[in-house]
Amino acid sequence: MGSVLVFGASGQLGQCLAHVAKERNTPDLVFLPEEQANILNPEGLQALFAQHKPTYVINCAAYTAVDKAEDEVDIARKVNRDGVENLSRLCAAHGTTLIHISTDFVFAGTGNQPLVETDETAPISVYGLTKLEGEQVISQHTPQYFILRTSWLYSEYANNFVKTMLKFGRERDELRVIWDQTGTPTYAIDLAGCILTIIETQSPHYGTYHYSNEGVTSWYDFAVAIFELSQTQVKTTPIRTAEYPTKAMRPAYSVLDKTKAKTQLGVAIPHWRDSLTVCLSRLPA
């Protein structure tokens, strides 16, 4: 197998990929520095492909500031659509398989049944729309791709909900957390393992997949579990989304059905609470 180029290597998932690759002793992963791996620079990308001749590209690079995207539509679209198109074209030209990370925000979140890959997309935010546009340019330009839609990503790396709750839990006596948004947390270490399994097995089952941990919860119940498992004493009060207005709308229900990933990719997916326990055990007390 040739090299594997990782774009967005300094982000949360990129750091998790480095962690899992080291644990598994997975060779040939190239974690590119940001200044060298600008997905908005086609000439620079061409030079990287010519140098490394990658078998796989993992794209973790994205504009993920959900609320800021409502005001920064152009830059969100450049990163989430145009940069992805640059990668897709080069992957097609070089016979490289693209593994791209997408989001549950491509759905409106108005249903009450776990979402399968073929369900209608209808994003309700600029972030969700630009991520969907990224998915669309991939399918237009290359046949060799895996799109992994995920949700509520957290880990011991970078900034995320778990680390924020632990920080607030230490600093405050009471927290108010939204309870009427339903989904599933995803431990980014588990997602990284799924990505490396695709590569290690050289899976031929291209297409779009859903990957989050198993189970269903709300942000409020997720926070309660974080405090319970970390033995953090803080009063936690459930509130409705309407009581905590944000610039961008979020899906009210975005539980992802993982049947396709389990059957076609052969991955075992832990329950979110089990993975949260593992993550908390790796964080400093």
Residues 56, 63, 127, 253: which is the catalytic one? 127
**Helix 126-141 vs helix 83-94: angle between axes, to the nearest 10 degrees?**
20
The answer to whether the Cα torsion of 131, 27, 34, 185 is positive or negative is: positive
- The candidate with the shortest Cα–Cα distance to 177, out of 169, 188, 187, is 169
Task: Give first-to-last CA distance, the chain, whole Å.
Answer: 40
Question: Rounded to an integer, what is the distance from CA 27 to the centroid of its chain?
Answer: 23
**Token duo for residue 55:** 């078998």
| Alpha-carbon radius of gyration of the chain | 19
Both structure tokens of 102: 């997408």
Is 127 part of the annotated catalytic residue set? yes
**For residue 113, how far is the Cα from the chain centroid?**
21
Q: What are the residue numbers of the active site?
A: 127
